[in-house]
Chains A and B, each alone.
Chain A
Amino acid sequence: MLTRRELVRGNPALAHPDDPGHLTRLIAFETLAIQVYGLAEESTHIGVRGKRLVSELRRQELAHAVALQEALERLAPGGAPAASLPGQTASIGAALTAGVEQTLTAVEIPADFAKLTDERAWFHLLEELENRLQGAYNGALRDLVDPSAATLAARILASEAQHSTALSRLRHPGNVAQAVPTGLVVGILRARS
């Protein structure tokens, strides 16, 4: 029977053995987000205001990845498995774009960068990405045992929710129902049927 002392102490030795796995998966999602936001920053189809937001969100996703990596190092010092999603690559240029498309598809976000020919299309993709990120965090929160790791995941989930609202407000100004559509932020956990 678990006691509070065992749960709250945050001793890595007491963390659930799956916790590092959950964190590496979240890092992989954040890496994907950083790559997609990076490609959005380079797009000529997004206006000045949109670019400013995209740059800020990319900076924040990077901060999320760093925080997660630090948490992972604490739970599994030097022994954490490499984080990656299906098809994920560290390539650059055209290879990066193809790799990112493949990874997005693998996590059930249909993406064809050649068809992203206006800001609306880009923002739709970014909103889908944020929904998927939220789903990943929501899923991990059910299973993360280490209190510090779980709290970090909750803080990042809140940040991702704010990202969705920021993107929506730019795309649908004046529409609060679109900006904050639901009272429980769970994201997308699995493919839509």
Chain B
Amino acid sequence: MTAPAGTRRALLRSSAAMLAGLSAAGVAGCGAKSGPHTHHLLSRRLRRDDVRLLNEVLALEQRTIAAYTATGSLLTGYAQKAAGQFLGQELLHAGELRSMITSLGGTAHNPSEHYEFGQPRGHRPLLELLHGLEQAQLVAYLHVFPLLSAGFVRQGVASILANDAQHVFVLRSELGSPALPAALLTPTE
């Protein structure tokens, strides 16, 4: 049984308040694993640049959180379990990114007021939506990674990227696509 269109639209539009609460709450994460002294080796400009880049990927994580929140109840079986598992992990990612941004002396941006994901109908379109969002995250992370300066930021971002790669693997498997298309993660995966 699928939800009525109006309900679906409401489900696919998430409130900023809920997202702000979810993404900022309690998922403080490990944050800066290296000592704070390493930040001072970087110029203020480099720290500011890292903050800007981290906010860019944080925005994508927040969007993906909204999508998992909206679609979880519309999925069934293993996909629903995966969505629940991945939502928790995306929340952790957002918390880690916020923590890194704060460590660099920056301010983490809040989620958007609402997100529009269209009206995917059925199991497969929902999975394709989630896969598209996860893949967009991979592309973004691979784009910003070489531009990051702080070692602890690279380490943290890499651990997030790797987890998102696992999400992509699972979603591709559920969609019947080759799950391990290449030995090296590429932006076009």
Contact = CB atoms under 8 A, between A and B. Distances in A.
A83 B43 CA distance: 35
Given A64-B183, A158-B165, A138 B155 contact: yes
Contact of A183 (B49, B93, B155, B180): B93
Contacts of B93: 183-184
B166 A161 contact: yes
Contacts of A152: 184
Contacts of A182: 89, 163
A180 B170 contact: yes
B147 interface: yes
B96 A184 contact: yes
Given A143-B151, A180-B89, A154 B158 contact: yes
A34 to B, nearest CB: 12
Nearest to A180: B166
Interface stretch (A3-11, A43-51, A99-107, A119-127): A3-11
Interface in A134-177: 134, 137-138, 141-145, 147-148, 150-166, 169, 174, 176-177
A159 B184 contact: yes
Given A4-B45, A157-B162, A184-B92, A151 B183 contact: no
B46 A183 contact: no
A2 B38 CA distance: 12
A3 B162 contact: no
A74 B25 CA distance: 44
A185 interface: yes
Contacts of A164: 166
A154 B161 contact: yes
Nearest to B165: A158
Contact of A162 (B45, B88, B154, B165): B165
Nearest to A186: B159
A7 B170 contact: no
A76 interface: no
The 8 A-B pairs at the shortest CB distance, nearest first, are namely A183-B89, A63-B183, A185-B162, A183-B92, A60-B183, A158-B165, A161-B162, A154-B158
Interface of B: 29-30, 33-34, 41-43, 45-46, 49, 78, 81-82, 85-86, 88-93, 96, 138, 141-142, 145-147, 149, 151-152, 154-170, 173, 179-180, 182-186
Interface of A: 1-4, 7-8, 10, 56-57, 59-64, 67, 134, 137-138, 141-145, 147-148, 150-166, 169, 174, 176-177, 179-180, 182-186
25 contacts: A2-B43, A2-B149, A57-B180, A60-B180, A138-B158, A141-B151, A141-B158, A144-B151, A154-B141, A154-B154, A154-B158, A154-B162, A155-B184, A155-B185, A157-B158, A157-B162, A159-B184, A169-B170, A183-B89, A183-B92, A184-B92, A184-B96, A184-B163, A185-B158, A185-B166
